[in-house]
Amino acid sequence: MAVERIHQLVDTFGRVVNYLRISVTDRCNLRCQYCMPADGVPWVPKEQVLSFEEMVRIVRVMSGMGISKVRITGGEPLVRRGLTDLIAQFSRLAGVEDISLTTNGVLLAPQARALFKAGLGRINISLDSLRPDSFASITRANLFGRIREGIQAAVEAGFNPIKLNMVVIRDVNDDEIADFARLTKHSHFEVRFLEYMPLDGYGNWDRSKLVSGAEILERLRAVGELEKIRSDDRSEVAQRFRLSGCQGEIGLILPVTQPFCANCSRLRVTAEGFIKNCLFGQEEWNLRDLMRAGGSDEEVREMIRLAVMRKKAAFGGLDLDNDRSARNMSQIGG
């Protein structure tokens, strides 16, 4: 629902914060190599995870402060029961104009239509390989067929475009860049290549596994002529392209070699209710305990403002080569 904006969250670098990524669970039904160790990470006890009521309160308060875009993430958001209902509640909040979801697609097929009807506007599905065996080795699960069904169901439900996220890792799936790019030929998929970030939770990342945006572009140019798609939205993180003669788009998300921190518009809330002002930032603010102790909306706003004012210029102040985040992606909400 659109409202006239009178409030804005602006950090000390003049960046307007209008985008929340909220994690609805830290649990997941996959164990992607680049996100989690093989035996997973300890789950947050259920009573420490935010209830839907608490999440709706956070989004209501934030939307009154200028947050208009909300992305639901996790862990795997579709393992949280009743997500459709949560989306319907978000969509009724004044000021929330755009609700999106990032999912691994395993549980999507039976839910896609209901999610669309509930007000979910956009969907990103993670897909790191088009080869079932390689997919199984990356995600440590034999569920390629389920994800294919999930993608098909999302198309049939009416999501358009559908973004497919591929984390490119050297000697793991970088030989599939061209095949992924060709998926855009006859479809409205936006295939997005993501640089591998040091957020795997077990220190497996190093620069030798990173395939840089420059290298991805070089491989794409071998597939066909690339036309750049210009955008006026400064906070857009993807560099967008179209291969000549193709219907869909290609997006490059290059947080490591071409960071977009200077235009960052994001805040994050983890499944257990901590605000993070950067994916890499180590500072956190405990909204859950504040709310459970009876904190007023004004106190909640105060904590949100503080988190925004403490946003650092880049990478949450972390040195990617030498420091490690205390959380992996599934524990932050990627």
- In the complex with ligand SAM, the residue whose CB is nearer, 60 or 80, is 80
197 binds, among ligand SAM, ligand SF4, none (CB under 5 to 8 A by kind): ligand SAM
Residue 125: strand, helix, or coil: strand
Q: Which lies closer to ligand SF4 via its Cβ, residue 197 or residue 307?
A: 197
Taking the least distance from each CB to ligand SF4, the nearer of 30 and 83 is: 30
- Please choose which of ligand SAM, ligand SF4, none residue 169 contacts, taking the beta carbon within 5 to 8 angstroms, the exact cut-off set by kind: none
Nearer to ligand SF4, 66 or 74 (CB): 74
Residue type for 324, please? Answer: R
| Whether the Cβ atoms of residue 279 and residue 331 lie closer than 8 Å to each other | no
- Which residues make up the interface to ligand SAM (CB under 6 A)? 28, 34-35, 73-74, 76, 102-104, 126, 165, 167, 194, 196-197, 199-200, 329-330, 334
Judged by beta carbon distances under 5 to 8 A according to partner kind, the member of ligand SAM, ligand SF4, none in contact with residue 196 is: ligand SAM
Name the residue with the smallest CB distance to ligand SAM: 334
Residue 201 token pair:
């939770």
What's the closest the beta carbon of residue 14 comes to ligand SAM, in angstroms?
27
CB of 31 to ligand SAM, least distance (A): 11
- Smallest gap from Cβ 329 to ligand SF4, in A, equals 5
CB of 84 to ligand SAM, least distance (A): 17
67's contact among ligand SF4, ligand SAM, none, with CB below 5 to 8 A by partner kind, is none
**Backbone torsions φ then ψ of 88, nearest 5 degrees:** -60, -40
Residue 194 touches which of ligand SAM, ligand SF4, none (Cβ within 5-8 Å per kind): ligand SAM
CB neighbourhood size of 156 (10 A):
12
CB of 75: closest distance to ligand SAM in angstroms? 6
Check: CB of residue 227 under 8 Å from CB of residue 241: yes
Task: Give strand pairing partners of 99.
Answer: 70
Alpha carbon distances (Å) from 105 to 45, 100, 147, 184, 263? 24, 14, 5, 19, 29
Residue type, 151: I
Interface positions with ligand SF4 (CB under 6 A): 28, 30-32, 35-36, 74-76, 104, 126, 329-330
- CA-nearest of 260, 269, 247, 267 to 310 is 267
CA distance 82 to 103: 15
For residue 25, the partner it binds in ligand SF4, ligand SAM, none, with Cβ less than 5 to 8 A by kind, is none
Only one residue has tokens 């996220």, namely 165
Q: How far is the CB of 299 from ligand SAM (least distance, A)?
A: 30
- DSSP designation for 161: S
> Which CB, 168 or 304, lies closer to ligand SF4?
168
Q: Which of ligand SF4, ligand SAM, none does residue 73 bind to, with CB < 5 to 8 Å depending on kind?
A: ligand SAM
Query: In angstroms, what is the minimal distance from the CB of 227 to ligand SAM?
Result: 25
Q: Which long-range contacts (CB under 8 A, 24 or more apart) does 46-51 make?
A: 48/272, 48/288, 49/25, 49/271, 49/272, 49/273, 50/24, 50/269, 50/271, 50/272, 50/273, 50/288
